[in-house]
Amino acid sequence: MHPGDISRIAQFPKADILAGCYPCQGYSQGGRRNNSDGINFLYREYDRVLRQVRPLAFIVENVDGMRFAHNDHLLRSQLVRFRLAGYAVSWKVLDAKDYGLAQDRKRLFIVGIRSSEDILYEFPRPTHGPGADRPHKTLRDVIWSMRKAPEGSYDPEPLHWYYLSRNRRRTWGQQSQCVVAHWRHVGLHPDSPPLRKVGRDKWVFTRPGKARRFSYLECAAIQGFPKVEAFDTCSVKLRFRAIGNAVPPPLFEAVTRALVTRLENR
C-alpha cells in the first residue's frame, strides 16, 4: 500500500467489481462535522474511478452517519452521480451483529450494477438474530479464550474522565460496542467491574477490581478477522487503527457473496 493523493492518479486497472471506502470522518458521529471539509467530497474521486474503470458492479461502504440529516445531501449526491454513471444503485444500513459478529456496528453500503444488465442488487438477509437461523454471537462466544491479554496488547493508561463519560462496558452475554480505531477509546473488557451512572456524562465503577480496555487481539476477533495474529507487523497503536478502520470481513463477505450470486444468476 502506498498512501497518497488519489487525485494525482490518472489511470486505474480494469476490474469486474470495484470496491472502495472513502474516509468517514466527515460522516461519523464521533468525527468532524464541517460540511465544507474537502474530505466529505472524496466520493467524487470514487465516481471518477468508476467512470474510467466501468466495472460490472461496485460496492461502497461507510459509516451509517452518512444517512443522517446533516449529511443527507452528500448521500443523495453520491446516489445521483453513480446512477448518472450508468448503474442501478441500491443502498442500505446493515448491522454487523446480524451477520455473525459479536459487535454492534452499523454501516451503510451502496451497491450498483451496470444498468445494461437490467438487474437490481438485493441485500443479504440477516444470518443471526431474531428470525434468522442462528442467535446473535456474544463476547463469550468470540473472546472468552483471550481473557488473559498479554501486557502491551492494550492501552494501559488510566481511564480518564472523558472515557468514563459514557458506559463503555458490555457483559459477556452481549455484543461489544463498535470497535474504534484509537486504542485509548476501545471498549472495556467484560471482566471489568460494572459501571453506574452518577451524573450527566459521568459513570463510576460499582465495585473495586481491575478494569482494562480490549486488547488489539480481542478487537481483531470481534471484527471477525480469521487470523488475529496477522496484525503483529506494526506498532500496537497502528494495529488498533488498522483493525478499527476496517470493514468486518464476515459482513463484507455477505454483501459481496450476494452480489456475485446475483450476477451469476442474471
Active site residues: 24
For residues 169 and 192, give the distance between their C-alpha atoms in angstroms, rounded to a whole number: 8
Positive or negative torsion for Cα 145, 146, 148, 150: positive
Q: What letters, b where the CB count within 10 A reaches 16 and e where it falls short, cover 248-262? A: bebbbebbbebbeeb
Cell, residue 134: 442462528
Q: What residues pair up with 107 in beta bridges, in sequence order?
A: 63, 94
For residues 55 and 13, give the distance between their C-alpha atoms in angstroms, rounded to a whole number: 10
For residues 13 and 188, give the distance between their C-alpha atoms in angstroms, rounded to a whole number: 43
For residues 26 and 70, give the distance between their C-alpha atoms in angstroms, rounded to a whole number: 10
Distances (CA, A) of 238 to 67, 82, 147, 163, 212: 29, 33, 22, 20, 19
Q: Residues near 207 by Cβ (< 8 Å), separated by ≥ 6?
A: 193, 194
